[in-house]
Structure 1
Amino acid sequence: MINSPTTPFGRFEAAWRAVERPELVADPTAAALRTWAGAEPVESVLVVDTDPEKADTSVFCESYDVPLELSANCVIVSAKRGESVTFAACVALATTRVDVNKTVRKHLGARKASFAPMETAVAETGMEYGGISPLGLPADWPVLIDEAVAATPHVLIGSGRRRGKIILPGRFLTQLPGAEVLPQLAT
């Protein structure tokens, strides 16, 4: 256990190093932590055990006293060009919205881009809807990160499950396979 019940990230009973508590994260997230090779130490990623009924961002932040500006969302986008479909993850602060129709579509060179349907996002990631994490996504997916997330000293994001969240330095996300920091990804 790492901390006391009150942290800059909110009120939690405890926080642990995520690599030491793989049962609190989705299998793909745990695998990504086990094989981490980035410059940022894997021990900097913490996990907190939370109520899955309170996983939705606004409810979660209110219930656990987490400021929205310290919380980020990972959304899955489906981009189409002709018959080709590309999936990408977009990570943005909870106080913003991902610009799918302009920034993401143009960056991916797609004719059309939209949020992936829930069933597709769950099937393609192996994670639970409402808790999708940028850690553990398919290796060939772009992980588009808003510059505000990358600049945040620590951010709270999904663990791949509705139960639990991970806390990590924003710069950790920039070291993920396929990671790209995009200015104005979110507005």
Structure 2
Amino acid sequence: MRAPIGHFDTATPAPECLDELIRPVADAVRRWHGSLPAERIVYVDTEPEWADTATFVEHYGRELLEQSANCVVVAAKRAGETRLAACLVLSTTRVDVNGVVRRRLGARKASFAAADLATGETGMEYGGITPIGLPEDWPVLVDAAVVDLPYVLVGSGRRRGKLLVPGKAFAELPGAVVLEGLGVA
């Protein structure tokens, strides 16, 4: 199979390579029920040392910068309680944590979750967190610009490998809310 975006040596429909995915992501692919078939989610094997966006696009195609999204975990606090959420924005933007995220989650304060908290709660590797396979009770805030893309490159749950996912599939994830202006320049 040829990857729908980028220049990768191998591209495989995710349901055909569940052994390459970490448990939460593999489980989510197994029980996929979106309007698009799970076979449209494509796994591409990549080098872990090239996982960060700037290095990644140098090796796999500069056009991927405009077709990549970052998934970050946010901790929202109110009245002594902390609630975790995921935010998915294009790689060319940053998450509006103190504006859109804080208001959407009804928090007094919101910030990026500590790496050990994010990895511990998701079961994923830092630098590879993906919105596919997150705890189902988490809000998944998705920037509208991500949903508009035919395919989006995101993490696979670990630093080795990436997923190529049709943008509109993110709107169908458990807990997903599509928001305008979540990603800002």
Q: Does the pair score TM above 0.5? A: yes
**Structure 2 counterpart of 1:149:** 146
By how many angstroms is 1:36 displaced?
0.8
Determine the C-alpha separation between the residues in 2 that align with 1:160 and 1:58. 19
Query: Structure 2-normalised TM-score?
Result: 0.96
Query: Structure 1-normalised TM-score?
Result: 0.95
Report the 3-state secondary structure (helix = DSSP H, G, I; strand = E; otherwise coil) of the residue aligned with 1:10.
coil
Aligned length: 183
* Unmatched 5+ stretches in structure 1: none
- Aligned identity (percent) is 55
Query: Which of 10, 13, 21 is 1:17 aligned to?
Result: 13
**Structure 2 counterpart of 1:34:** 30
* Unmatched 5+ stretches in structure 2: none
Determine the C-alpha separation between the residues in 2 that align with 1:15 and 1:110. 40
| Bigger shift: residues 160-169 or 33-42 | 33-42
Query: Which of 82, 85, 93 is 1:85 aligned to?
Result: 82
By how many angstroms is 1:8 displaced?
5.6
Report the 3-state secondary structure (helix = DSSP H, G, I; strand = E; otherwise coil) of the residue aligned with 1:172.
helix
Mapped pair 1:134 → 2:131:
yes
Instruction: Give per-residue Cα distances to partners, 1:80-138, cap 9 Å, x unaligned.
Output: 00111110000001011110011000000000000001111100100000000100000
| Bigger shift: residues 172-181 or 61-70 | 61-70
Let me know the Cα RMSD of the aligned residues: 1.0
Query: Which of 80, 105, 112 is 1:108 aligned to?
Result: 105
By how many angstroms is 1:66 displaced?
4.3
Matching residue's letter, 2:50 = K
Aligned in 2, Cα 1:37/1:8: closer, same or farther, shift over 3 Å?
closer
**Structure 1 counterpart of 2:56:** 60
**1:24–1:163: 8 Å Cα contact kept in structure 2?**
no
